[in-house]
A and B are shown apart, each in its own frame.
Chain A
Amino acid sequence: MFATAQYESGDWDSAPMVPANVIDAIARYTSIPVRPQGVSVPLSSEVIYGYPLLFLTGHLPVRFTNKEAEVLREYLRRGGMLFVDDHNHDVDGAFNKTVREEIRRVAGPLVPLPNSHELYRSYFVFENGPPTTSHEMNGWGDNLVHEQLDAVLFASRIAVLFSTKDYSSEWSYHPDNKRFLSVDNTKFAVNIVVYALTR
């Protein structure tokens, strides 16, 4: 089940179509059993322990409450994985700056993830690291093409995966519209889910 994290600050539900699109990709390319709809779980509740992969996105500044920080810290210690995407696609944006600080407070500093990491081969092969998004190519946000993702590693396992590529915009469309794409841009989501399920 695909779970989106609710946090008290910011706009946690800024990409409502992402869960459906990721679920569609999983069902389309693998035999992994999936529930047809995602869920939203409050970051301040131990309920998140039942969802070992969490998706977190937004545009606005993020400030975890003490309870959210405590629960998230324990969640990561137990083996959960948090996937954070900057919906602004802006390294100078409020979300990027604040959420990095919060991740450092909870889990430790983010470090660049090498493009040779097994995340890029966990199902589909991405020779050049994370796939470029149309928003990067269109010059939106910081007008940069980010070559790498960042991560916090716990004993070589990705505990927090951080993207500034704005997959929240890239994947936020109705799955039926994939037929208009020459290349399915949600394939990388399959890699993230398979990695989370196997490592």
Chain B
Amino acid sequence: MKLLNSTARRSAAVLAGALLMSSLTACGGGTQAATAVNKDTLTIAVDSDSASFGFDPLRVADAQRQFFEGLYENLMTLQPDGSVGPGLAKEFSYSADNTVLTLTLKEGVIFTDGATLDAALVKANLDRRSDPALSAYSAIAKGGAQEITSVSVVSPTQVAIKFAKPQPGFEKNLASTMGMVVGKSGVADTASLGKTPDGSGPYTLDPSTVKGNKYVMVKNDKNADAADYAYKKITFSVIQDPQARANALVSGQADVAMLTSPTVDFAKSKGLGVSQIGGTLHTMVSFDKTGKTAPAFASEKVRQAFQFAINRQSLVDALHKGDIAAWNALPKDSAGFTDELNTKFAYDPAKAKSLLAEAGYGNGFEFTIVGSAETQTDLQAVQKDLAAVGIKMNIKMASSTDEAFAAVATTPLGYAALGWDNPVGLMYGVVLNGFTNVQKASDEQLTAATGEAAAAKDDAAKKTALTKLNTRLVESGWMIPLYESLTNQGYNTKKVQQVKFAGSNAYPLLSSYAPAS
């Protein structure tokens, strides 16, 4: 049927032309926008909601330190070299028995609610430690590994923190979200922090913020250290999809982006800079060391058998190209890292079988692990290795977050990504007394090594203690490390100077970002 005459064809051509014109108009704008360089603003693409619980810094873990560093100040601050220096507390001192820490506070610090910093405010903050929602305070709450028994005001600028037991080196914790100080109004009405931050940080939250999508901060002129921050405006853009994050960096929507290892080569091929640092260990964690949920896990030999049974290099080659296979519980840049573990627990299925036989499980055994969408493929790779030595690992996908959390008490083995910036804090807060040891197992060597690390006065002592700790974590099978993932910060070299990490901390200081010259 040939009904389309010349008039109809002309109509179609006009329509097509209009569409093309609109596209071209749009194209022109896009090119211009993409090439414009604004040195006053910085957009950081991050992988998760920076303020999923609102703007109370004490509700989040240290992974959100970078974001909250803009809005709040710490009692102690993380320095560019990874050490800890003065912050809102300009000086500190310990009692002779290390049970009391006295902080001397800076003066003239103003919060967004207009209040000023004093000892009473620091006490009011720390007195919130009984609130179970404040995860940053879990270690200092009653029964916590670093329990604070009381906080007292010595003078308007001095506050004394009393611990249940000696805590030398505790001040390092105050550089994490635990040490962030909320203003008077925020402490009095904590619900208000859900929507509005109340800090004294170098930036304040801009109303153009869109919850869960982008968080916009503008320079806080009332902050004395604001001049140390190069950008007038910083936007945290939440882009969960890793490829979309890399695309945003390549196409100029972001200046800095957290990249996953598989997208690093792509970013580099587009001429972008990538700074990398290790530090996050993806580790199987023995939740049950007593045999309550699976009798076999009470045996150290069984837990050791896991170390020999898993082909870590194969797992990394297949699923985590660019990351590092790990036989150490601590990261390779840690003082406690030792090459000995790499050879001592090298892949050896025969050795694994022999250990199982010695433990009375020559015919193998069966257990269930709870997985998630993120861990499923790793667990399937491990499942295959374990099956080869006679261990049947059933993978049950968690149907809810509650079920995933409950697994620490109902299943013998879990899988977690652990950051080891603060090994002592992690050991006390998570491994020895925290959620990965619900069955209350104990190990004298681990407790002793942790204590030694906490009390270490110099680098040599620290190295010795951490090496002992690392070695024992692996030998005891409390930790079954699989691989160390690299934290990758991609950056637009035309706009941002090379991104530098603060020591081994995986999240650069906001003050470390600077425009390219």
* Bound together: no
